[in-house]
Structure 1
Amino acid sequence: MFRLCRQLAVTLIAVSAAGLAATPATADPLLEETVSFAAEIFFLDVDVPGVVVAAVKDGETTVVGLGETRKGNGVAPTGDTVLRIGSITKTFTGAMLAHAVAAGEAGFTDPVAPLLPGALGAAAAKRAPIGLIDLATHAGGLPREVPRKPGPDSDPFSTITDDAFATWLDGNELLFRPGSAVLYSNFGFDLLSAALATAGKKPYPQLLAERVTDPLDMADTRFELAGDMADRLMSGHGFDGAPLPDVPSGDVITGSGGLRSTANDMLRWLQWHLDDAADGPAREVRFLDHGVYVQRDGLETVVGMDESGRMDGMGLAWVAMNATTDRPFVLQKAGALQGQMSYLAFAPDKGVGIFMSMNKFDFSAAYAMADFGNQLLVELAGH
């Protein structure tokens, strides 16, 4: 997988002694060795303060932390370090749509407008019907972000509001006919979580806890800090390398990017996706969640979907990459928010998955992280 000279191997030993915090949740030494060695190489290759790499294979898990949770603090990240997972939040929104469909609360092709509150629903009703499945596959004809005034540095997301969504929908035509193209859209996923709250008759964070995070014992996967989470935070860093403040995500970007989590919780999320032995409602939800609903070949255009690997199709937030001679079928999603960038991917037919996060805005490093994660996934799958 990696070609190393003797000098690099010597360097790795030094790095391991100085900055490695490996917290495996498994007795499988081969998985731990594979992930630890690969993570060290990746960390040496990028200029970021800290990195967390987690992996699951056939139910066994391991977590490796390298560097620092905040530049200069000397604290290595672990599986319990609290991260902002950014747009990986969308994979939970997709699963929540699968829950709603399985429960008979909504249908994939139901229009979103009747499920949106007040002026927002009235504005959406003026446009061509946007189905819930269109929102979950970035095919709703909506822009990436809602146009808005910048928020203050202490609360930058506060100007993302239902009123801002309604204003855009009231005054603008959709960018394309829903279902005919794919354009990455945070706007669309926040409409989706609002609609799911209406369908489920409860606030969206409460529904998410009841249906996903509480049953999976994901206590650290939530929108607001609770308990000792503030003591375990990883700080994001800007493009200049300076630490960024921890700011609230607010109560509107619940569908697109507001969740916090940990590597250990992400492993629980991956294990749920890879558990093919479960029966009952969970099996139906997983089946719906892993479907590929939009094929690239049938689209007029695709924008903003190929950064972590070429999109062959879209699932419920998942970017689907078809199997090749060099790779199994993969579902993946990247995310970034407030100086933190992460990547989640799994091969459902192979029982393997990976999660990675780093704490600096650096697009070159983010591309390298996705490439590394995809290579590691292939290696773990034995493909």
Structure 2
Amino acid sequence: MSTAPRLRAALVDRLTEEGVLREPGWSKAARAVPRELFTDAYFQAVPGSVPTSYRPVRAGDPGWLEGIYCDETLITQLDGRTRPEDVTAESVSGSPSSSSTLPSLVLRMWHQLSAEVGDRVLEIGTGTGYSTALGAHHLGDANLTSVEYDPTVGEAAAAALRAAGFTPRLVIGDGLRGDPGGGQYDRLIATCSVRYVPLPWLHQVRPGGRILVTLSGWSYASALVLLDVTGPGQATGRFLPGYTSFMIARPHDRPPRPTLALLPGEERPSQIDPAKLDNWTGGWVAQLAAPSAERLGAGAEQILWDVSTGSYARTAPHANGGWSVVQRGPVRLWERVERAVSCWQDAGEPHQEEFGITVSASGQRVWLGAEDGPGWDLPI
């Protein structure tokens, strides 16, 4: 057995042992789809670099193929334009804008979607095309439509899918608008995160169908939710176990931030430990309470900057114990965060799987425990 099939088989065996692969159809897809066709070049972060810089890894480079069959996310584009093949220097800096998600997460999500052969599936975010290929292998080309926002990324994915022998329907466009051709789907899976569930999705997935998507925000806290569509524009769902994050869809990303000037403001003691925002669910609850804020800092020294109003809050350890907070601007960000985090603490600091969401014509509300429990409206 040559190197690529051997590495691929070893990865599938490991994912099977770990319980990620449980259905024969997805196991066959994982064994059949050559990930190297979809990630012929990628970036690796340079250890210790500040800000993070990235080294391009191309076909034939030492460790290239081994890196592809590690269960890791591979960055394939920076700043919405720079690909590994574009880089002539030893390393380059930038913000990741496209990637090939780690295989275990891709396959876990396909399992969680519970799509069956014969279901019509809409995928939002073709990316490299690797996830699309897995879906096409198991569900059939005719049953899968995939939408990609970036034309360059989409063209590369289309070429890789053809090379791998798959011909699903591919669309270049804004996936948040769904399928521009309309139609009814049984399932929708998103490989990008969103601030709220786009309304076109709720009309293109039939009642009784399902939507699997990661909800995120401008503080980049994330939670994976599985929604059951109950009617046109309506759905309910529960958040899932684990820790899932994706790059936020570009139309939902925050606007450019001006230079942050930490001017004086009103100071008082903080009612919560700011380090609670470093907790996976704690940071997400804070984001629900202050959805237009970007979070900086860590530990006792947190900074929240409201993108829409310029309001901010910053915390620091107090000399006499506890913590202080300084707030400035029309929105008292920390007060909102304190109420939300305290509510979560009173419930015993549960993981996101204790939360749910209701989507209706009146809005989108995330709630804790039960539908009539405490909750927060998403920023539609």
More strand by share: 2
Which protein shows a greater Rg?
Answer: 2
Same fold (TM over 0.5): no
Higher relative contact order (CA 8 A, sep 6+): 1
More helix by share: 1
Normalising by structure 1, report the TM-score.
0.23
